[in-house]
Amino acid sequence: MTAGRRTGVALAAMLLVLTARAQPAPEDNVAGPYVPTPWPVVDDMLRLVDVRADDVLYDLGSGDGRLVIEAAKRYRARGVGVEMQADLVKAAVAGAKRAGVAERVRFVQGDLFDTDLHEATVVTLYLLPKFAARLVPKLRAELRPGARIVSHDYPLDPWPADKVLTFDLDEKEAISGTTRTNLYFYVVPARVAGAWELALPRALSGRALTVQINQAPDSLAGSARLGRDNVPLTELKVRAERIRFDLFIAGREVDLRGTVSGQTMSGEARWDDKRDGWSARALKK
């Protein structure tokens, strides 16, 4: 080979390397490589979210569809799998037919971040950490209060999990280099951020109070306006549609428990040895 030809080959090779480096990494386009969830983990994920016949389970990054198919097969749930790779969608459809659950499930080739999740009551996922975290605003905005989520291995930061199940599984070592497995379980809370007009029992207050609640995935705080003072809502908790907080008013600590339903709340106030009803309505911004 002449020197000129060797130079040309070297330049071509260098161009190929530079072109390859310029291509986006696979994880820039997809929410994680395809790694089949081990069957024991499938069992524990479905048990942890307590799948029932009236559930609609969405698996985000569904791969061969095993979670969706098993939910339909074992619990008679309906399911939707969302997967970017066409060959995996095809395999999932075939698997559903073999399992006899094709009428209860469907598989969609698409971007999970563009998927409408409003009908889901259960969501399962096994995504790289940055993509799991990126899903948090979408999950909390689109899922109804009380919807359950289980994330395999990676938490939905910064949202604290309601429960974490940790165990060792030999099959995981070939996948992640460790036998340790974590399942992070979440219950979607009602959306209570904003200003509310709170009506307390007559024995406690003769007028409505304005309550302001600040809600984020990793924080929840509120206060009530009493005259010129802002009194904190203590022990404030929201789980699914249930809300509870304490308020110091009229010289006593009042425990308020109730249910959130869209733009209204209602429940029971407890103080001393007395109990009476309370309600609240969201104020327009």
Domains of the chain (ranges, CATH numbers): 27-187 (3.40.50.150), 194-282 (2.40.160.90)
**Rounded-to-integer distance, Cα 43 and Cα 22, Å:** 41
pLDDT per residue over 154-188, tens digit each?
999 999 999 999 999 999 888 888 999 999 999 99
Look at residue 149 in the predicted model and tell me its pLDDT. 98
Tokens matching residue 103: 């009428």
Task: Say if residue 156 is exposed, middle or buried (CB neighbours under 10 Å; 0-12, 13-18, 19+).
Answer: buried
- Is 67 within 8 Å of 40 (Cβ atoms)? no
Look at residue 6 in the predicted model and tell me its pLDDT. 38
Which among 217, 214, 205, 218 has a CA at the least distance from the CA of 232? Answer: 214
The three-class DSSP label of residue 251 is: coil
- Is 95 within 8 Å of 43 (Cβ atoms)? no
pLDDT per residue over 244-259, tens digit each?
999 998 888 999 999 9
Look at residue 181 in the predicted model and tell me its pLDDT. 96
The low-confidence residues of the chain, meaning pLDDT below 70, are 1-32, 206
Whole-structure pTM value: 0.86
Tokens matching residue 278: 């309370």
**Rounded-to-integer distance, Cα 109 and Cα 244, Å:** 41
